Amino acid sequence: MLSMKLVYLANIIVAGWISLTSMFAPRIAAATIFSNVYPGTDVIRLVGCLWLGIAVLSVLGLFRPVTFAPVFLIQLIYKGSWLLLVALPAIRAGENYPSGMAAFFLIWVLVLPWVMPWSTWWG
- Domain, as residue range, for 111: 2-122
**Whole-prediction pTM:** 0.90
The closest alpha carbon to 100, from 41, 53, 37, belongs to 37
C-alpha distance from residue 15 to each of 7, 40, 96, 123 (Å) = 11, 18, 23, 30
Residue 97 and residue 37 in contact, taking contact as beta carbons nearer than 8 Å: yes
What's the structural domain count of the chain? 1
CA 112, 117, 118 angle in degrees (round to 5)? 95
pLDDT in tens, 7-58: 999 999 999 999 999 999 999 999 999 999 988 889 999 999 999 999 999 9
Per-residue pLDDT reduced to its tens digit, 45-101: 999 999 999 999 999 999 999 999 999 999 999 999 999 999 999 999 999 999 999
CA angle 23, 73, 122 (to 5 degrees): 155
